[in-house]
Amino acid sequence: MIKRKLSKIEKMVDGKLTKDDYIDLEIKGISIDTRTIEKGQLFIPIVGENTDGHKYIQAAVDKGAGASLWNEDVPLPEIDFPFILVKDTTKALQDLASNYNKQVGAKVIGITGSNGKTSTKDIIASILETKFNTHKTSGNYNNEYGLPLTLLSMNEDTEMAVLEMGMSALGDIKLLCEIGLPDIGVITNSTDVHINDLGSVENILKAKMEIAQGVKDEGIIVHLGDSPPLKKAVEELDRNIEKISFGENTSNDYVTEYLGSDNEGIKFKVKDNELYLPMLGRHNIYNGAAAFTVAEHLGFSTNEIREAILNVDSTGLRNELVKGENFHVLNDAYKSNPTSLRFALETLYDLEGYKQKIVVLGDMFGTGEDEVENHLQIGKEIDPNQVDLIFTLGELGENFAKGAEKNFSKDRIYTYRKLKELGKSLKPLIKKDALILIKGSRILEMERILDIIM
């Protein structure tokens, strides 16, 4: 994590220390949340839509904060404490992270995409850490606050930084690239996941392409070549960077092929090299191929990649197989959209050896004007020969049930508005050797169902 004297911090954020008595005081780490702040950390009070971090300065002091940044237009509290005045604390957080990133000098891999960012990040990091001091985004710290905090938490001796870059508006990824300065950019795909935020698939693609504009000169952009609009956008980009495509189409630079799966992971090929990835879901061949591409361009041999990905450290709530006493849960509850839900159903179908399969599907929020139709259509697509029972949660989720009525009798479909009621109804219907898929939008926190049924 960052360790700097306040005299250095002052320059890195273009601020002004209120008392010269504190110039030699060293801070160790950064926090924007007084609930988790630790002794000696620099507190950065963020002004958000619903709260103002400046209100919590006393809590930060009481918990041992070493110093605090402070918006210059906010009156200083009457306490003897080290403050650095800045024009805007959010901008100062980002500037501090950018300058620290430059000082550490790690090679940076930035990853964006509608789906697959986190898994690709995890696979790449699992390879890089076998040779280099590697730092990666924790959880989904991938926005204008999370990415700076990720950079500021890396050690001085970090050699590789693997950064997830999320977005909800045009310009978001541009900003993250300005902070993270990626040497290599990865675009896993571009689908209609953010349609509510950006209004059109064209704008979503434009937002994803900001990482191609944001990689350093003579850098590399790795992208899914199976998407014609994405491939065309990358090919037409007039920049001095290397452009590398991956995907199943034989026209790609790195051709991948699904070979099969078991209940622990998938077997696939990249450039005719067979690999095994302990992640569920055949869609992970794309994430594996992206990681292979990056690793090979960083000097890793096929054997080194093959061995490294066997020990991938996966982020939770994404195709996570949870083992109960006599049944399993495919916990994919982190988020849901039409693309990722179809992938999850495909994964459920591929897993063998189960005597009963149940899907528990919650609302897919943020899919635009077609949100009702999206739910209906996926309900129609659920295979009655692969799934025994369907449970839905939420008002939108009821459209899964309506769509499924085409192929399922009504006694195989259950709809609920409340999670606890769903869990209590589901539990007695679970048979020995069952597999249950749980998936829904993040706000639903559908992983809570496990507490009821396990």
The answer as to whether 100 is a domain residue is: no
SS3 216: coil
The upper half-sphere exposure of residue 429, i.e. CA atoms within 13 Å in the direction of its Cβ, equals 19
The answer as to whether 121 is a domain residue is: yes
pLDDT mean over 82-100:
98
* H or E, element range at 389: strand 389-393
Under a CB-based contact definition with an 8 Å cutoff, are residues 37 and 65 in contact?
yes
The answer as to whether 154 is a domain residue is: yes
The answer as to whether 260 is a domain residue is: yes
- Domain termination residue (choose one: 311, 336, 365): 311
Q: Is the pLDDT of residue 196 over 80?
A: no
Under a CB-based contact definition with an 8 Å cutoff, are residues 322 and 331 in contact?
yes
Confidence band, pLDDT 50/70/90 cuts, at residue 289: very high
Q: Are 295 and 161 in the same domain?
A: yes
Q: Are 392 and 436 in the same domain?
A: yes
Tokens of 134: 């590697």
Q: Are 285 and 217 in the same domain?
A: yes
Q: Are 351 and 276 in the same domain?
A: no
pLDDT score of 420: 97
Confidence band, pLDDT 50/70/90 cuts, at residue 191: confident
The answer as to whether 122 is a domain residue is: yes
- Domain termination residue (choose one: 311, 345, 378): 311
Give me the domain span that covers residue 220. 105-311
Q: Are 232 and 260 in the same domain?
A: yes
CATH classification of the domain holding 245? 3.40.1190.10
d(CA 439, CA 347): 12
C-alpha angle with apex 443: 440 to 449, nearest 5 degrees?
Answer: 55
d(CA 357, CA 251): 38
The answer as to whether 93 is a domain residue is: no
Domain count within the chain: 3
pLDDT score of 198: 78
Q: Is the pLDDT of residue 273 over 90?
A: yes
Q: Are 409 and 305 in the same domain?
A: no
Q: Is the pLDDT of residue 16 over 70?
A: yes
- Domain termination residue (choose one: 311, 328, 348): 311
CATH classification of the domain holding 403? 3.90.190.20
Confidence band, pLDDT 50/70/90 cuts, at residue 190: confident
Q: Are 83 and 193 in the same domain?
A: no
Which residue from 182, 159, 198 is spatially nearest to 299, judged by alpha carbons? 159
Confidence band, pLDDT 50/70/90 cuts, at residue 331: very high
Burial of 418 (C-beta count, 10 Å sphere; 0-12/13-18/19+): exposed
pLDDT mean over 399-421:
98
pLDDT score of 194: 60
Residue type, 402: K
23-39 residue pLDDT tens: 999 999 999 999 999 99
114-171 residue pLDDT tens: 999 999 999 999 999 999 999 999 977 999 999 999 999 999 999 999 999 999 899 9
Q: Are 442 and 324 in the same domain?
A: yes
Q: Are 307 and 349 in the same domain?
A: no
The answer as to whether 98 is a domain residue is: no
Which residue from 260, 294, 255 is spatially nearest to 280, judged by alpha carbons? 260
Q: Are 306 and 373 in the same domain?
A: no
CATH classification of the domain holding 61? 3.40.1390.10
pLDDT score of 409: 98
d(CA 141, CA 138): 6
The answer as to whether 95 is a domain residue is: no
Angle between helices 201-208 and 228-235 (to 10 degrees): 50
Q: Are 126 and 207 in the same domain?
A: yes
pLDDT mean over 285-291:
98
Q: Are 155 and 276 in the same domain?
A: yes
